[in-house]
Structure 1
Amino acid sequence: MTYHPKSDFISIMMERGFLADCTDYQALDEALMAGVVPAYIGYDATAKSLHVGHLMNIMALRWLQKTGHKPITLMGGGTTKVGDPSFRSDERPLLTPQAIDDNIASMKTVFAKLISYDDGPSGALMINNAEWLDGLNYLEFLRDIGRHFSVNRMLSFESVKSRLDREQSLSFLEFNYMILQAYDFLELNRRYGCLLQMGGSDQWGNIVNGIDLTRRVLDHEIFGLTTPLLETSDGRKMGKSAGGAIWLNADMLSPYEFWQFWRNTTDADVGRFLKLYTELPVAECDRLGALEGAEINEGKIRLANEVTTLLHGAEAAAAAEATAREVFEKGGIGDDLPTLTLSETDVGNGISIVQLIVRSGLAASGKEAKRLIAENGARLDDAPLTDAGLMIDAGKLASPIKLSAGKKRHALVQLG
């Protein structure tokens, strides 16, 4: 694309790799030059924490604020009661209102670390769509809003089509989700002057629906901008690891494990991830990403330190790096390793090494743990572990033992 933006925000989005598509580059660019643009991203409250897969879009909101515009984090207190069908093969489990409120309260703590909710012109807003969705009158909603939606067009959207092509059930409840999301954009524009919705490129259809609805009902011009759906260079979905989701809340994933996730980035992804997940100058990101051989580790450590500092603070990043050096370079134990604390009752007359590997999070199942041992990928106190039938008794846990899966994943087991 050859468009040359004038606004700082779109320039940064393009230069750093945040931009997949935009409904109207030039008109949005002009709006960004003309004054403060409120822009939102929606987050459904399906878990207590956001994960690394959300981090790119939160960084987009951070850049929006740094360039003088107003981020809105829209919490889906209403839409979480329905569930987003996008690219899922099954329906989401429905949560109670109390569980939804608890999740939103927990997620707020992460947003506040990355964007500022102050009273200034570009101070962020956190809004819950239950504000307008909970009190909707169904018949009025059908008459005033439903008439603007063509079912033929809705069936053509990829998120719906992929479900139908696989002949998987799509409930009417979920089919309504895209209407509710479009209505969110209309209400945010009406109530808060919101001009822009951002989201992953899988949300394109939903974003366009909101723009179309707002034009029909309010005759206002608003915009959509999408970010690429990120996969790692080896084809994995960003934010997933062998141990499960990479959560952003420290009480669900320790800062050390978070740091370690970034330290283990594939060589080919270092430069790209530095641009997306840190605020280092682009030239420095390119320099670090171009390092080769053992030197690329400098880029990985810088990436891990920068992202961990943004989310958990400089002290947590420094402690994680120190622990990593202790573990990898000196063969020590390190204070910040994930730790499994067992009672004497847990251990009894002995507990199997396979069970310890699973309970410490180094393998997802006993089968996976046994395979790790069979393929010489497991170590006990840095010595190769070859006996899948090994039993560990309380005597062996008099001091903590260190378990390792491969070269990069470690855990401590101790008696509490």
Structure 2
Amino acid sequence: MHDIRLIRDNPEGFDARLARRGEEGWSQDILAIDARRREAILAAETAQAERNRASKEIGAAKARGDEAEFERLREVMAARKTEQAELEEKARIEEAQLQQLLMTLPNLPLDEVPDGRDEADNVELRRWGSPRDFDFPPKEHFEVAAAAAGLDFATAAKLSGSRFVVLKGAMIRLHRALAQFMLDTHVDRNGLTEMWTPVLVREEAMQGTGQLPKFAEDSYQTTNGWWLIPTAEVTLTNTVAGEILSADALPIRMTAHTQCFRSEAGSAGKDTTGMLRQHQFEKVEMVSITTPQDSRAELDRMTACAEGILEALGLPYRTIVLCTGDMGFGASRTHDIEVWLPGQNTYREISSCSVCGDFQARRMNTRFRPAPDARPEFVHTLNGSGLAVGRCLIAVIENGQQADGSIVIPEALHPYMGGKTRITPEGALA
């Protein structure tokens, strides 16, 4: 959410930065609502002051036996009480309207973020690894014999419909191994604290990280009002909601492996075959809570943590910085990591790491005290996939596929697979 004081102080600058994201001229509407709200608050305070003054005078009038003045002052107090209540309600309505508007506007991009309209304008930062030369036409993950034996889309459709999968045998063990490897790496090598969090959250948690109110259709809500999380960003970030942290406690670096749920609204016809885009999936998420001066460097650190997983697995990737037109709602700068999928002959997103500045912190009212006697300031928040487990499984399948339909398992996963090094064309570990 945006700082209304900054909008008041520099409306032109606010509009200019928001225009880079395709949002035009919002400061005029925001300041008009804010002016009405402040006017109502001032008038209500004036009415309260007049009530207080009349209250003092009414006793004196009664004491000196001035009944006419006593009755007049009683009428004044009653009128001001009614006026005050009406003005306070008006201020409350204007405040709600202001908050609703501010909560639907995206974060402001950092100056360094490249301008652009869509993914075609994203800028590549670097590449790692070289795509493997196949002596046969590489297949997509669901076509590889060793994987097909353990990817059951028909049963999943019978149970739940489209965009679900049942994993079995070697596939689910490989999937589980990937998640455990990611967690162990982030905890043991990257210094993150592992968490286990609910997947059902209150509306306030979804609002705190920006999923609500703007993107309600992208998530699932239960009949009793809980929301299924689209990512552990929601729960991990909200662990500090409403708190004032000490500077010594920062940075806070967390990771969690959770089920995630997305309705995929608006994605009809996209990636309908296979398990690239699912309603239910698993992710190992990373979240950092930092001071404002450290957040930009923390983004590079978080990106490196995600890249390190792919490097350990020997999976080629490229890292790009998203342009203003392709960034997520709450981000001020985003690095996407795209893994090479030989079956599609292209790079596909497997991680998105973003710094959000104080955008989420304002929604959650999360602050820190720079010094023991200093005024609290808003923290900065960051989040990133480390990694999307299902998409990593796809990458391991496609990059490790052999001409006979078997799959070679990355060496880093051998300890998690009971020492097995490959999956046979029949889907057995060997």
TM-score by length of 1: 0.23
Is the strand fraction higher in 1 or 2? 2
Larger Rg: 2
